[in-house]
Amino acid sequence: MKKNRAGFFTAATVAGFAVSLILAGCGSQPGASPAANPSLAVSDTTEPFTSTLAVAPASDTAPRASANGVAPGAAAPAPASKHAPETLKTFTFPDGHISFDYPSTWTVRTALPPGGLPGIEATVADDAGNDLLFLANGVTAGCAGGPATRRVLDQAVVPAMAAPDGTRPVFGFAVESYGDGDAYYMGLADPRSLAEGDGVSSWCNLIPTANGGLFSRVLFDNPAFKNRGAARAWMQTEQYLQLKALLVSLDYT
């Protein structure tokens, strides 16, 4: 398995997710302390970003997010491609309920959760073998966390998903502030996880479904970005738009 060069957790980190969902489904990323980077000192006063869901064609030269949010060797991230959408594949979990669309050059591998826990895990990797996204379907654990200060950087409806009580989960990319720095979260969440301000309930990646629950989380390094300007710069890249489109395409049948 290749080392993740895209600025995300390696697969070794993923193995513990299912065991710790009840504790790590929401809350801070310990030790997150973004370092200052003058070249990416972008203002954080703009409104939440809203992007198109068109998936740009993949390329060996496409920008990939690093820990400071820029492609290796680049002074600034290139804007997302404006070309026609690329070919997509559809992955469906073995129980046949939840599916999503992903770029045809990416891969999805599945595994059973450790410790005999229920459900199935899926890890999405790009064409270079970098793990980008972790999902667990049919899980039964919950979230635990405390109050946080949150700023939402992006959000979108997920039209084909709904909780048993009728609540519609949403796609979100958000930053939460804690005493040791900023923590970034990206995935599907209950709308309450996108409330902004001080003292809001910390992010929860677990949403209820008719077959248990769905956990989704983009795999960031720790720290994920040097600063919030770097995070906003990453939002203009092909990689960000591809991940967002994948998450918004999630469908429960």
pLDDT greater at residue 65 or residue 30: 65
Which domain does 160 fall in, by range? 1-29+52-57+84-220+240-253
The residue ranges of DSSP E strands in 41-119, in sequence order, are 88-92, 98-103, 107-111
Asked if residue 70 lies in contact with residue 77, where contact means CB atoms within 8 angstroms, the answer is yes
Residue pLDDT, tens place only, 9-47: 333 333 334 433 433 344 433 333 223 333 333 334 333
Q: How confident is the model at residue 179 (pLDDT cuts 50, 70, 90)?
A: confident
- Is 225 part of any domain? no
C-alpha span between 155 and 188 (Å, rounded) = 9
246: in domain: yes
Give pLDDT tens digits for 115-135: 878 999 999 999 999 999 999
The Cα–Cα gap between 16 and 170 comes to 25
Strand order in the sheet with 98-103: 88-92, 98-103, 251-252
Note whether residue 8 is domain-resident. yes
Report if pTM > 0.75. no
What digits encode the pLDDT tens for the residues 94-123?
999 999 999 999 999 999 988 878 999 999
Q: Assess if residue 45 is contained within a domain.
A: no
Return the percentage of the chain with pLDDT > 90, whole number: 46
**Dihedral, 96, 98, 102, 108 alpha carbons, nearest 10:** -70
Number of domains the chain contains? 1
Q: Is residue 173 part of a domain?
A: yes
The pairing of strands 120-125 and 107-111 is antiparallel
Residue 78 lies in a domain: no
Rounded CA gap, 48 and 51, in Å?
10
Band of the pLDDT at 175, cuts 50, 70, 90?
very high
233 within a domain of the structure (yes/no): no
